């Protein structure tokens, strides 16, 4: 958020107050982070504080164009307009972003990279940007820009996070220290120390990395992505020996759970069914069809496998795939797309091997088993999968990890990624808290429980500010309050602090709306439930 923002709004006839500028700064910061439901929820919470600002579509476009054009002109002046126009869109965006960060510095950089731009010598451009980052003591931003100038679509680019070591970084991203050093020669000088904020090229993973979110276990070495850290812009050095991960001691129940999910399904059709039906090979499709045709009656997988087969047929043969001649004999359909040539390794939406991602999510479930017990945790898992997963094939929340729950768990990891399982766990645990609070008529520990359940999802240190989960709860209560309490509702200030007023408002809405409605609405404001997941 630039100081010129006030002038930009003035220019379109919308002057901002100091409070509005602060909220807009928070909103802009979140919108510039990687697109995911959590960052969007952070942006939504900041946006809720801007209720006094109203822009028409034309005004919004005018404002965007004004800001974008301003910094594009800065970049054009720095390197020359003709030279700028010859760049691809990705590299133009890099230069516009640098101009946005500092007009003065962009003007200084321009002459130094112009010749390299003419030659399309992206390594030379990157070298100049890295030098600037070192001079400004801001290597994080300029190293990232350097990598993007080399290849705007560079795969496998990840940033070092506070607490990372070379070994933990390599393990988290599914590679080895040797492979990481080969891909990043600068590490060969001293691989024992790396700086937070430095982007590194990650070789293609062989096992699933830890998804970008911290677990609840304090002993684990996983760090959240830079987009979820309040102080991630501060470079830091961490010796490997200081951040070595310690394996948690598991209860018998937790270890038995981990052993179970490490085993493949007895039926190959269920493993195939974890993948997108459009990706099945012809042999895999036959395996699934042969399996479901043997199932009868109330078999829980009969309908699911039948539905997935239908989706496969639709993907390969199109709408109305099955046709019959006048005698009732089925006419062989003609495919509109080819079958996958062979069986494919199942992967998550992020591209990580499914087995490793299942194990990662399983470790998070095991953490809760150690803390809350097996039956309680599995009931949270079932509730969470119901809230963020398949709204048609809902699970019985009985605390038993049977075949249906096992399949739903793995299917959710495959379809939505392992982080979504932890999202669901946290949300179901909060719903359980709300149900108990309603029964006991006691919400005195609301602030503590909210922080305990959701804080680790958003911050390396849950005690750090701002506490987004508190602001999201206030926004949720402001959403539900008028609907369930009418004119008696007094809007809460969105200050990210659960004090006496927020606690009492929670009690009022809990009584009026019920714990399930409240938890589901809260999940939407947290970004843990997408709109198409609300059942």
Q: What pLDDT score does 156 carry?
A: 55
Query: What was the pLDDT predicted at 225?
Result: 37
Decide: residue 33, CB within 10 A, 0-12 exposed, 13-18 middle, 19+ buried: middle
User: What pLDDT is attached to residue 46?
Assistant: 67
Q: Which residues of the chain have pLDDT under 70?
A: 1-6, 27-55, 57, 60-61, 64, 101, 134, 136-141, 143-144, 147, 153-164, 182-201, 203-248, 320-324, 330-331, 390-391, 530-535
Look at residue 404 in the predicted model and tell me its pLDDT: 94
Calculated CA dihedral for residues 165, 168, 170, 174, nearest 10 degrees: -160
Q: Which residue, among 347, 399, 172, 362, has the nearest Cα to 262 in the 3D structure?
A: 362
CA angle 162, 168, 170 (to 5 degrees): 110
Residue 505, pLDDT score: 97
Is-contact 409 381, C-beta < 8 A?
yes
**What is the C-alpha to C-alpha distance for residues 17 and 304, in angstroms, rounded to an integer?**
55
3-state class of 201 per DSSP? strand
Q: Are strands 193-195 and 237-239 parallel, antiparallel or unpaired?
A: antiparallel
**Rounded distance, CA 59 to CA 54, Å?**
9
What DSSP element (H or E) covers 512? helix 500-513
Per residue in 339-348, pLDDT (tens digit) is 777 777 888 8
The pLDDT of residue 171 is: 78
Question: What pLDDT score does 457 carry?
Answer: 81
- pTM (predicted TM-score): 0.57
Q: What confidence score (pLDDT) does residue 375 get?
A: 97
Q: Can you give the pLDDT at residue 428?
A: 97
Tokens linked to 337: 């797309």
User: Could you tell me if 1 and 29 are in contact, meaning their C-beta atoms sit under 8 angstroms apart?
Assistant: yes
pLDDT tens per residue across span 385-412? 999 876 677 899 999 999 999 999 999 9
Q: What is the dihedral of CA 335, 341, 343, 345, to 10 degrees?
A: -110
Task: Extract the tokens encoding 483.
Answer: 């609907």
Report the distance separating Cα 533 and Cα 390, nearest Å.
Answer: 8
pLDDT at 176: 79
The pLDDT of residue 201 is 66
Residue of 274, 331, 338, 342 whose CA lies nearest to 308: 274
């Amino acid at each position: 958020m630039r100081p010129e923002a006030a002038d930009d709004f003035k220019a379109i006839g919308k002057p901002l107050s100091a409070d509005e500028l602060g909220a807009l700064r928070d909103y802009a910061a979140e919108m510039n982070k990687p697109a995911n439901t959590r960052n969007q929820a952070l942006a939504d919470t900041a946006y809720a504080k801007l209720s006094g600002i109203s822009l028409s579509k034309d005004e919004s476009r005018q404002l965007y164009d004004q800001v974008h054009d301003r910094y594009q002109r800065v970049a054009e002046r720095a390197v020359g307009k003709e030279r700028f126009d010859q760049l691809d869109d990705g590299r133009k965006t890099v230069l516009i972003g640098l101009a946005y960060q500092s007009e003065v510095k962009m003007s200084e950089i321009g002459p130094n990279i112009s010749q390299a731009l003419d030659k399309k010598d992206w390594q030379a451009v990157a070298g100049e940007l890295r030098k600037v980052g070192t001079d400004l003591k801001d290597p994080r931003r300029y190293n990232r820009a350097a990598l993007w100038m080399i290849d705007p679509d560079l795969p496998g680019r990840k940033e070092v996070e506070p607490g990372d070591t070379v070994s933990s970084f390599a393990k988290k991203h599914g590679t080895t220290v040797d492979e990481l050093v080969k891909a990043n020669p600068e590490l060969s000088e001293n691989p024992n120390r790396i700086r937070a904020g430095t982007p590194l090229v990650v070789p293609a993973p062989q096992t699933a990395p830890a998804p970008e979110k911290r677990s609840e276990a304090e002993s684990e070495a996983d760090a959240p992505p830079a987009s979820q850290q309040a102080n991630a812009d501060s470079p830091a050095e961490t010796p490997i020996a200081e951040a070595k991960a310690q394996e948690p001691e598991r209860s018998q129940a937790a270890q038995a759970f981990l052993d179970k999910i490490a085993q493949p399904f007895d039926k190959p059709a269920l493993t195939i069914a974890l993948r997108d039906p459009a990706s099945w090979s012809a042999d895999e499709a036959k395996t699934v069809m042969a399996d479901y045709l043997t199932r009868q009656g109330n078999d829980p997988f009969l309908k699911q496998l039948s539905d997935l087969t239908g989706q496969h047929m639709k993907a390969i043969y199109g709408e109305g795939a099955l046709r019959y001649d006048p005698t009732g004999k089925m006419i062989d359909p003609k495919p509109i797309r080819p079958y996958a040539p062979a069986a494919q390794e199942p992967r998550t939406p992020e591209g990580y091997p499914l087995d490793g991602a299942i194990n990662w999510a399983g470790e998070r479930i095991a953490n809760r088993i150690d803390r809350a017990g097996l039956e309680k945790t599995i009931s949270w898992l079932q509730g969470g999968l119901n809230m963020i997963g398949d709204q048609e094939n809902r699970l019985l929340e009985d605390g038993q990890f049977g075949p249906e729950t096992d399949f739903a768990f793995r299917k959710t990891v495959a379809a939505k990624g392992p982080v979504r399982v932890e999202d669901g766990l946290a949300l179901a645990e909060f719903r359980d808290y709300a149900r108990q609070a309603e029964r006991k008529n006691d919400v005195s520990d609301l602030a503590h429980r909210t922080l305990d359940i959701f804080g680790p999802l958003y911050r390396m240190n849950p005690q750090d500010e701002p506490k987004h989960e508190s602001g999201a709860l206030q926004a949720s209560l402001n959403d539900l309050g008028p609907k369930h309490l009418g004119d008696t509702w007094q809007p809460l200030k969105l200050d990210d602090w659960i004090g006496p007023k927020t606690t009492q408002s929670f009690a009022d809405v809990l009584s009026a709306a019920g714990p399930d409605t409240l938890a589901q609405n809260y999940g939407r404001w947290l970004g843990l439930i997408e709109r198409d997941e609300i059942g």
